[in-house]
Amino acid sequence: MTMQMTQPAPVATPPRRLTPGDIAARTTSHNSLRETISQTMSMAWRATKKMRRNPEQFFDVTIQPLLFTAMFAYLLGGGLSGSVEAYLPLVIPGILAQTALTACMATGVQLREDMEKGVFDRFKSLPMARIAPLAGPMIADLLRYAIASTLTFVTGIAMGYRPGGGVAGVAMAIVLTMIAGWSLAWVFTWVGTLARSAQSVQGISMMIMFPLTFMSNALVPVETLPSWLAAFVKVNPVSYVVTATRDLANDGTVTGHVGWALVACAAVIAVFAPLSVRSYKRHL
Amino acid sequence: MNHIPAVHAEGLVKSFGDFRAVDGVDLHVDQGEIYGVLGPNGAGKTTMLKMLATLLPIDGGRAEIFGVDVRRDPHRTRQLLGVTGQYASVDENLTANENLWLFGRLQGVSSRTSRATAAQLLEQFGLQEAANKPISQFSGGMRRRLDLAASLITRPPLIFLDEPTTGLDPRTRGQMWDTIRELVAGGCTVLLTTQYLDEADQLADRIAVIDRGRKVAEGTPDELKASVGNSTLRLRLTDAAEQTVAADVVRRLLGEDPVLSPESGRLNVALDAADRAADVLISLREAGIGITSVSVDAPTLDEVFLALTGHDTGDSVDPSATADSRQLEVAR
């Protein structure tokens, strides 16, 4: 291969040898916060490119809201609330949390698949913050949560749901769902860095997702549950999110539940983000 | 002048369970050098490179890159290195241009500079026409070149190349060699691994031969080849029964023990210089020993190995070498 470049022939001056001073000058001891954010956003950019080129990644966030909303509303509405219309205000925020959780389960599976690829060797060899390859795709996934929650509301409204919170309440509910999805995705990201294959990530994630969604107040009122189950439901972070979403979408009020939901999300991040980064660093 | 070695490692160890993939290797690479690590599959070359590149934890010993302790300061180490792996480590979902831009951005290069450097590198590596094509349409050679370009985006002073030409056709291999030479002319230091003696010979200033995680020899290509002779004479005798006699003739003439394979009547002998072959042939005719085929070749990696370690590489493709070599399975 010929080097047809405008720069002078490299042999003209013998290259200077580097001294310890040169090395200190051209390196830094760690990534600054600004660098970390910039790297995370670059990884998010990569993930959106990937999404656009693999549109099948949007199946779960487009089909599932339509299917689940209709299915659960018609299936359980009559029995639980007397009619489908009466059940919708209860179930729509529940489905919202459920689809967000399914969507963020895919985050872990895709991370695992991604980590198998050669390009991850390069990411590891670059002086980039170890959190960036994990957090980047999760930021891109906000788009998926937004699609999923918007579609859930659209389906609900088509079925006769009239959210009392109005446009503002619904918008806030969508934002809260996105925040919750992003937070809970750290659980699955952690699983993604731990498990040996994408299949096992899928399996483990299912085992986490099912109790989290169904053992919550997403589909049924807590009062109907036996006390031992109600005890778990009450500490389940998904319940906080569902209750807060109901307050926002149905009443348009920012209640204490919203605050607690955010605290629950923060707690999940505080535990699982460091675990994920630690496990990613170790995993090779 | 107060300059420091590009790589300095002492007693590097990596274990996987009971198996020691790298077993106490010392390495010293000066700035501006092309240093070749030669060995068969599974010898521990890649593992060693990965430890030096912070991709695998170092189990024992210590390593410094330009005086920076790899274990203690991995972040600083990564800023001094470009790593090009055995398998293309570029993103299949992105175009060539997007790949280079991303790797620039991830290392703190501004978007504009990243774009300019990407364009420049693609031109330098003859990839500008494929700049906006998806990587899935790239040939093996194009991928390798893009991979190397991706390592150069921040112009690191040290480049690790893990088997840069394995699986490439001869023409593409030659191009890769030229590119590597240009890098060094531009001031880079290169540490490369290879399975091919001729590649190490063509490129490297110094070579370390690695076998089962240990360094079994080190030197310039000439020193290394001299240890097995600069070329190998391969003979096949008409009558296999005359092998012992023929071996005596050769031993008297060259003072060197030939390698025999009794079943096939083959006889291989290392030569200091190719023209000594004529002397051997004349002596054999004078002794009345018939020959059915003759060839003079450069020593293969297998022969270097046999000479240095007493066993072959375990994955020989040279048909003449398989008959007489003890087929020891190299660990792993």
Q: Are residues B106 and A118, on separate chains, in Cβ contact within 8 Å?
A: no
Interface contacts (A, B; CB < 8 Å): 128
Distances in Å between the Cα of A185 and the Cα atoms of A272, A276, B83, B132, B252 are 9, 11, 31, 33, 77
B84, B91, B143: best mutation site toward chain A, by most A Cβ within 10 Å? Answer: B91
pLDDT tens across the length of chain B (332 residues): 567 999 999 999 999 988 999 999 999 999 999 999 998 888 899 999 999 999 899 999 999 999 999 999 999 999 999 998 777 688 888 999 999 999 999 999 999 999 999 999 999 888 889 999 888 888 888 888 899 999 999 889 999 999 988 888 888 888 889 889 988 988 899 999 998 888 888 899 999 999 889 998 899 888 887 777 777 888 888 888 888 888 888 888 888 788 887 777 888 888 877 788 888 899 888 888 888 888 888 776 667 777 777 666 655 443 333 333 333 333 33
Q: Is residue A178 in some structural domain?
A: yes
| B161 and B57 within one domain | yes
The domain in which residue B80 lies consists of 7-225
Q: Are residues A28 and B75, on separate chains, in Cβ contact within 8 Å?
A: yes
The partner residues of B64 in beta bridges, in order of sequence, read: B8, B69
User: Which B positions 94-153 lie with beta carbon below 8 A of chain A?
Assistant: 94, 98, 102-103, 105-108, 120, 123-126, 134, 145, 150
| B218 and B236 within one domain | no
Number of domains observed in the structure of chain A = 1
pLDDT tens across the length of chain A (284 residues): 444 444 444 444 556 788 888 888 888 888 999 999 999 999 999 999 988 888 888 888 888 888 888 888 888 888 888 888 888 988 899 898 888 888 888 888 888 888 888 888 889 899 999 999 999 999 999 999 999 999 999 999 999 889 988 899 999 999 999 999 999 999 999 999 988 888 899 899 989 888 888 888 888 888 888 999 999 998 888 899 999 999 999 988 888 889 999 999 999 999 999 999 999 887 65
Where among B192, B225, B258 does a domain terminate?
A: B225
Q: Is B309 on the interface with A (CB under 8 A)?
A: no
Q: Is residue A144 in some structural domain?
A: yes
Nearest CA distance, B331 vs chain A (angstrom): 22
Where among B206, B225, B244 does a domain terminate?
A: B225
Q: Are residues B91 and A119, on separate chains, in Cβ contact within 8 Å?
A: yes
CATH number, domain with residue B266 = 3.30.70.920
CATH number, domain with residue B173 = 3.40.50.300
Residue type, B210: I
Q: Is residue A229 in some structural domain?
A: yes
pLDDT digits 0-9 by tens, B181-214: 988 988 899 999 998 888 888 899 999 999 889 9
Burial letters A161-192, b for 16+ CB under 10 A, else e:
bebebeeebbebbbebbbbbbbbbbbbbbbbb
Backbone angles phi, psi at A159, to 5 degrees: -90, 0
| B88 and B74 within one domain | yes
Q: Is residue A12 in some structural domain?
A: no
Q: Map tokens 């509303």 to a residue.
A: A73
Q: Is residue B237 in some structural domain?
A: yes
Taking CA–CA distances from A121, the nearest residue in chain B reads: B89
The domain in which residue A269 lies consists of 32-282
Q: Is residue A231 in some structural domain?
A: yes
Question: What is the β-pairing status of strands B231-237 and B34-38?
Answer: unpaired
Q: Is residue A273 in some structural domain?
A: yes
| B168 and B254 within one domain | no
- Count each helix (H run) and each strand (E run) in chain B, helices first: 12, 14
Q: Are residues A45 and B90, on separate chains, in Cβ contact within 8 Å?
A: no
B76, B95, B106, B175: best mutation site toward chain A, by most A Cβ within 10 Å? Answer: B106
Residues of B in contact with A19 (CB under 8 A): 1-4
Q: Is residue B1 in some structural domain?
A: no
pLDDT digits 0-9 by tens, B218-244: 998 888 877 777 778 888 888 888 888
Q: Is B69 on the interface with A (CB under 8 A)?
A: no
| B236 and B112 within one domain | no
Where among B225, B257, B282 does a domain terminate?
A: B225
| B280 and B233 within one domain | yes
| B70 and B147 within one domain | yes
| B214 and B249 within one domain | no
Q: Is residue A177 in some structural domain?
A: yes
Taking CA–CA distances from B186, the nearest residue in chain A reads: A10
| B247 and B288 within one domain | yes
Q: Is residue A184 in some structural domain?
A: yes
Q: Are residues B182 and A10, on separate chains, in Cβ contact within 8 Å?
A: yes
Q: Is A167 on the interface with B (CB under 8 A)?
A: no
* ipTM score of complex: 0.82
| B185 and B172 within one domain | yes
Number of domains observed in the structure of chain B = 2
Taking CA–CA distances from B91, the nearest residue in chain A reads: A119
| B263 and B143 within one domain | no
Q: Is residue B186 in some structural domain?
A: yes
Q: Is residue B18 in some structural domain?
A: yes
| B265 and B170 within one domain | no
Q: Is A123 helix (H, G, I), strand (E, B) or coil?
A: helix
